[in-house]
Structure 1
């Protein structure tokens, strides 16, 4: 992941997005998403995402096997992933683990894990939240104690994206001096308990981890600033995913409104329906603009702009996914229709990396600092 301004043109970004959408049309269609609700996602899909589209390592530096892309390109990829409701380890690996690895700046860790992540051989995630589910470094209580040349971790983690399956876990824990450290834990490490959770959104796997003297390798030094920087990037990519999901919901309901006949005319011709669909489009375009603006921000600007993008994208997705169900009428409430899948993803995404209230409070702090 580079902080340099992207040199990719709008035409190239559109072509990039179109290539991903075409691939996901077959890799993450309705049938594939539903198959992944109760079984592992098709490994052939991950092979294409990693081997052909090179998405897992797109934000990794080129010298460590990655694509060396910026967040400008990454938000395009994640918007398409959200549109397709893509199951599997892309979010945990590319949106959570990779930004943290890069922000930590540990050259040895990047050399050790980067090529395997970029090739798709290794999936990864970040374990930060604990019992209260808060995505907040201040809430971390898991402990890390030195053990010879390594460390031992004790405690628990909750709501870990892909926590039951990832090959690499980047666990945040407190060091003896009270600082925050990031520790690499292998998926099969001794003392590590991984329990898959049954959550509202079955398309995004979550797990609870128990750490009982788990052997770990420290990555970088104090991780406080790196976690904040990586969280800004992850929040931005989640917002892009939300925009994609909201757009898909709008596309679904616009198509239905043009086909559903009531009183001898399409329901989309009624003014009440037109107004709601127009309002939905305004919400989506506002959120997309915020995402694209944040994608070109760095440092403190990104800390602010990613929160704005998160707020607008969360509002758009939660609102439009609900309207998608309502405007489809009776069919929209059935298991057979895909509307409920997007509704559930919208609700869980709204809490994943901070609730709207958390974003508002963080923005207030940022703005107060800027005014001072």
Structure 2
């Protein structure tokens, strides 16, 4: 299980781009084709797959880059062929307001909550925690098994204060709002792709947390020695290394999965990567000592990303329950 040479080239290209920290990062990613990865070539896309999404999301996670790429991935997965899909491939920011009910209980899992009903071509309801909802030019709303497009000017979209300031969230309120039906909406497919893309990001974030922590323990000295030379800290960082590498493997396994295996692998990746990042980010705080609890250090940003992302498309416990049902337990 490994990336191809082309995928590794994409990884290095994105990594160099992020290292340069350009002010127009999203436009540079659009020029690179990032939002077009899952869009078919005959609609202006690259016709790539989840492995390429994994490659880009991993690097974005390592730098905590605040881009609407995850929203674009959801939109590209949900949309049927048409002009809207072509616009998403070209970098137009799209937000998907949806909720994914648990098939066993009927309850909505995760932060994406709400219920939207359709009557006579108009939508009514509220969806919370919509990624990039307040800046999107295209607003997609799922009502039952149908995907609709709504003019953002006709909906009430309000910014939601979030734990992670690099991930804008919004609440979408609809009150008999006119909507254009676009086609069927496959919530299960969207959820599996969302979990796979988020797991890739979390794996990249966890790897960067460990990298920064190891670097700190080699510089910070106590009793005349780098604290990283202490056996107790070596053991803790070795355990974190295991978590990081297994998170990378779980996320890559989902990204490279056959369509029939994707639900199982996406659930496993969602559960493990979220927990791995939460643990590694927490240990990052501990091993950095007092500086990590100040605003001057970036450690709190990684911890915020860990806790915010860990709830986004369902909690780890919810994904474990789903995984157990999928494999027959």
Report the TM range for the smaller structure's normalisation.
Answer: over 0.9
Q: How does 1:225-264 map to 2 (within 5 A)?
A: 226-264=186-224
* Displacement after TM superposition at 1:135 (Å): 4.5
* Displacement after TM superposition at 1:72 (Å): 1.2
* Displacement after TM superposition at 1:26 (Å): 2.4
Deviations 1:59-112, CA, capped at 9 Å, x for gaps: 100110011111111101100010010103111112x211112xxxx3xxx321
Q: 2:170 aligns with which of 196, 207, 213?
A: 207
1:15 aligns with 2:6: no
Structure 1: distance between partners of 2:161 and 2:29? 26
Structure 2: distance between partners of 1:161 and 1:117? 15
Does the Cα contact within 8 Å between 2:58 and 2:200 map onto a contact in 1?
yes
Q: Which runs of 5+ in 2 are unaligned?
A: 101-106
The 3-state SS of whatever aligns with 1:56 is helix
Distance 1:323 1:312, change over 3 A: same
Aligned length: 323
* Displacement after TM superposition at 1:129 (Å): 3.7
Aligned to 1:32: none
Aligned to 2:104: none
Does the Cα contact within 8 Å between 1:126 and 1:169 map onto a contact in 2?
yes
Q: 2:78 aligns with which of 100, 103, 111?
A: 100
1:134 aligns with 2:104: no
Deviations 1:248-302, CA, capped at 9 Å, x for gaps: 1001001001111111111110011111111111111111111111112133410
Aligned to 1:34: none
* Displacement after TM superposition at 1:324 (Å): 0.7
Does the Cα contact within 8 Å between 1:163 and 1:194 map onto a contact in 2?
yes
Q: Which runs of 5+ in 1 are unaligned?
A: 1-5, 29-41, 175-179
Does the Cα contact within 8 Å between 1:155 and 1:210 map onto a contact in 2?
yes
1:46 aligns with 2:23: no
The 3-state SS of whatever aligns with 1:134 is coil
1:334 aligns with 2:294: yes
* Displacement after TM superposition at 1:113 (Å): 1.4
Aligned to 1:365: 325
Distance 1:9 1:263, change over 3 A: closer
Aligned to 2:122: 152
Does the Cα contact within 8 Å between 1:161 and 1:207 map onto a contact in 2?
yes
Deviations 1:327-371, CA, capped at 9 Å, x for gaps: 111111111101100100000111000001110111111111xx8
Structure 2: distance between partners of 1:239 and 1:256? 26
* Displacement after TM superposition at 1:316 (Å): 1.0
Structure 2: distance between partners of 1:58 and 1:299? 17
Aligned to 1:66: 45
Does the Cα contact within 8 Å between 2:36 and 2:90 map onto a contact in 1?
yes
Distance 1:85 1:136, change over 3 A: closer
Structure 1: distance between partners of 2:220 and 2:58? 28
Does the Cα contact within 8 Å between 1:129 and 1:159 map onto a contact in 2?
no
Does the Cα contact within 8 Å between 1:127 and 1:169 map onto a contact in 2?
yes
Q: 1:183 aligns with which of 142, 148, 152?
A: 148
Structure 1: distance between partners of 2:311 and 2:246? 20
TM superposition score normalised by structure 2: 0.93
* Displacement after TM superposition at 1:196 (Å): 0.3
Structure 2: distance between partners of 1:250 and 1:220? 44
CA-atom RMSD, angstroms? 2.0
Does the Cα contact within 8 Å between 2:164 and 2:308 map onto a contact in 1?
yes
Q: 1:172 aligns with which of 137, 142, 148?
A: 142
Does the Cα contact within 8 Å between 1:201 and 1:344 map onto a contact in 2?
yes
* Displacement after TM superposition at 1:133 (Å): 7.1
Structure 1: distance between partners of 2:21 and 2:288? 26
* Displacement after TM superposition at 1:127 (Å): 0.6
Distance 1:133 1:23, change over 3 A: farther
